[in-house]
Amino acid sequence: MELQSFIYEHVAKKSKDGVIKVTSAINKRWETRVVAQGLDAQGADGARAYLARYGNNIAAPKVIDLALCAQAKGAQEMAMAFWVKAYKLTFGSSPTDAGDTALETVSSATGSKVEDLPVLADLPDHLQPGKIHTMQAVDAPEDRDFYIKNDNYLGQPKRDGHRSVVIATPEKVWFQTRNLNLVEISDNELVNYFKDAAKRLSPFVLDGELWYRSFDGKEHRTAAQAAEWNVRGDYPTVDVRTVYTAFKPLYFAGVSLTDEPESRRIQFLQKVVWLPHPDNFEICPTARTTEEKKALVEKQLTEGREGEVWIDSSCLYTGGKNSKSYPMVRTKYIQILPLVCTGVTPTTAENRLFGSIEVAEEINGELVPVGKVGSGFDLTSQKEIMAKISLGNFKVFVGTQGRTAAGKLMHARYKGMVKNDAG
């Protein structure tokens, strides 16, 4: 059954005269858990955060009720995430149509309409909400040392979050993703701060990163990951903080800054009197001199951060990625881990003997699964891997950019394989 049909079936069962019937028990959960914590304004992340906190051993019927409630309340993206979870629990696999079509189904099932994009008279067309194409970094063609010594490049810490453009007016604040989607966040303190700043400084547009802070100050891509990290650290009641890191302004004081050099955009941002501001808003530090860049790299490495972003100080702001002139690049830290190979997954793809390598970490004498490795090998190396696995227990060297909140590998890549002498 497709997800669309799954949604229609359950909406029909729980609707009367086009209105979804929500039980009093689910309504209570909605008010005391979802609304009280602002999860209803976090879209799909809000649903994932709810399931991380309250979804242990949750059954499909309860998730269906949550999806129906979110749908009735107009939280369509949250409803979609609940529907996908309910589908997985019901059928044991992910739906194949959980994309835009299914999301339209959620809206059409209750007659909801997608709001037209706002048009702000003061902003040029390319900086209107929902139309801003962000400038994106590509993998650096040179090593770190090149950018540290090159006076043309500025350095900034790479934040582990989601790219987000803020369009702020005294009346309303929009958060736009790099995919041009407009999203709302639940942190009223941050939203009100941006409104007050726009009232004091005039409307503005910022390019930056939206991330979530756990109890120990660690960066997380989603509120759900931060909440799960709090639970794992035995701090389940500590609030997850939404944090916005501003990289540069794109519009300020009635002027578009996209045609200015990068150094001027950053300088403009740092000269603006933003204070006082909450601790969940920060201006991204910028390293200019060789010594400052060395200190940036040392700090990122010491704190176990993701890496750095290097920007040509003279570049204009052009949307998308540029792999020709490399005006904006990123360097990442790759950690090599020796892990135990516990098997391989099947595949139907041509020129592949298996889908991925299943790996685990030895902790206190036990093997704890940490994920799968699906890249870094061709057909020849796959044959070598299969031959080694057939001989016995092997360790796999895996390159990874870090771990998720659940302890799973991020962007894992196969680096080699040796006999596990301890096995």
Question: pLDDT digit string (tens) for 72-130?
Answer: 888 888 999 999 999 888 888 878 655 444 444 444 444 333 346 788 988 999 999 98
Average pLDDT over residues 316-324: 89
The pLDDT, as a whole number, for residue 329 is 96
What interhelical angle do 3-13 and 60-72 show, nearest 10?
Answer: 80
| 115 close to 76: Cβ distance less than 8 angstroms | no
In degrees and rounded to multiples of 5, residue 337 shows phi and psi of -115, 135
Identify the residue whose tokens are 């879209």.
43
| 39 close to 70: Cβ distance less than 8 angstroms | no
DSSP character string of 123-176? S-GGGSTT----EE-EE-SS-HHHHHH-TTEEEEEPPSSEEEEEEE-SS-EEEE
What is the number of other CB atoms lying within 10 angstroms of the CB of residue 133? 13
Q: Are strands 357-363 and 335-344 parallel, antiparallel or unpaired?
A: antiparallel
Long-range contacts of 223-227 (CB under 8 A, 24+ apart): 223/39, 223/42, 223/45, 223/46, 223/48, 223/49, 224/45, 224/48, 224/49, 224/51, 224/52, 224/405, 225/52, 225/404, 225/405, 225/406, 226/405, 227/49, 227/52, 227/53
Domain boundaries, the chain: 3-109, 125-332, 335-419
Cα separation, 47 vs 65, whole angstroms? 13
Question: pLDDT digit string (tens) for 222-246?
Answer: 787 788 888 888 898 898 889 999 9
Q: Nearest-CA neighbor of 60 among 1, 18, 118?
A: 1
- pLDDT tier at 342, thresholds 50, 70, 90: confident
Identify the residue whose tokens are 């990625």.
321
- pLDDT tier at 45, thresholds 50, 70, 90: confident
Cα separation, 419 vs 423, whole angstroms? 8
**pLDDT exceeds cutoff 60 at 358:** yes
- pLDDT tier at 405, thresholds 50, 70, 90: low
Cα separation, 395 vs 8, whole angstroms? 48
The per-residue pLDDT of the chain, averaged, comes to 85
**Max alpha carbon distance in the chain (Å)?**
70
Cα separation, 183 vs 94, whole angstroms? 25
What is the number of other CB atoms lying within 10 angstroms of the CB of residue 24? 7
Both structure tokens of 30: 């909605």
What interhelical angle do 43-54 and 223-232 show, nearest 10?
Answer: 20
For 280-415, where are the alpha helices, taking DSSP H only?
Answer: 290-302, 379-391
Render the burial of 88-101: b for 16+ CB within 10 Å, e for the rest. ebbeeeebeebeee
CATH of 335-419, one of 3.20.20.140, 3.40.605.10, 3.60.40.10, 2.40.50.140: 2.40.50.140
The pLDDT, as a whole number, for residue 419 is 74
Average pLDDT over residues 270-284: 83
Least confident of 217-221, 340-344, 406-410: 406-410
Cα separation, 138 vs 327, whole angstroms? 9
| Length, in residues, of the chain | 423
Asked, as a colleague might, if the bond just before 278 is cis with ω within 30 of 0, I would say no
Q: What fold is seen in the domain 125-332?
A: D-amino Acid Aminotransferase; Chain A, domain 1 (3.30.470)
Q: Nearest-CA neighbor of 338 among 370, 361, 372, 367?
A: 361
The pLDDT, as a whole number, for residue 109 is 45
3-state secondary structure of 276: coil
